[in-house]
Amino acid sequence: MTIVSGFLTNNAVVLAADSQEVVSDFTKASTQKIQITNYVGHWRLAMAGSSDHSQYIRLIESELSMRLANLPKFDYPAIVSIIKATVHQVHKQHIWPRPSNRPEVQIIYAIQGLTPTPSRALLVSEDSAVTPVNDYMRHRNLSCGLSQKAHLS
């Protein structure tokens, strides 16, 4: 089971995740579940996800890295648009066509603009929907396990 939490503070975003991964349904290993990427234009993206098929989280991470690397500067609307398009494309090509045993994929994205003006945002995706966590909500949690139905709270 993976547990990820994201929190908004007045001027920062915090992302936390457990570090245990089930290997072959019978043993656990330590792993880094939060992936942080620094981009040109003085901003960074951290993401952590939960799925009963973790290869889809890695696929979304990989696709996002390639697409976001082309942004010349921090542009929040463009970043959100790229995240939404990437999540939708991966679901359309790889997840929705599966007639049975369709995986559930949930990811929390922390966006931090560093200069010229510090900014922060928290997004969450469940299935192919990507939504922002607003200031009034302040946090988002997700968890998923093979024996537990995935949920957001």
Instruction: List, for residues 34-72, the tens digit of each pLDDT value.
Output: 999 999 878 999 999 888 788 899 999 999 999 999 888
Within-domain flag for 89: yes
Within-domain flag for 74: yes
Within-domain flag for 28: no
Within-domain flag for 26: no
- The arithmetic mean of pLDDT across residues 14-24, rounded, is 79
Within-domain flag for 27: no
**How far is the CA of 138 from the CAs of 17, 51, 124, 134, in angstroms?**
17, 23, 12, 6
Within-domain flag for 22: no
Say how far apart CA 139 and CA 135 lie, in whole Å: 8
Domain total in the chain: 1
Residue pair 120/76 in contact (Cβ under 8 Å)? The answer is: no
- Note the pLDDT of residue 134: 76
Residue 88: closest CA among 122, 126, 141: 126
82 pLDDT band (50/70/90 cuts)?
very high
Residue identified by tokens 């920062």 is 12
Q: Which domain holds residue 9?
A: 2-14+33-152
State the pTM of this model.
0.84
Within-domain flag for 48: yes
Residue pair 94/128 in contact (Cβ under 8 Å)? The answer is: no
First to last CA, the chain: 15
Say how far apart CA 1 and CA 25 lie, in whole Å: 11
Within-domain flag for 19: no
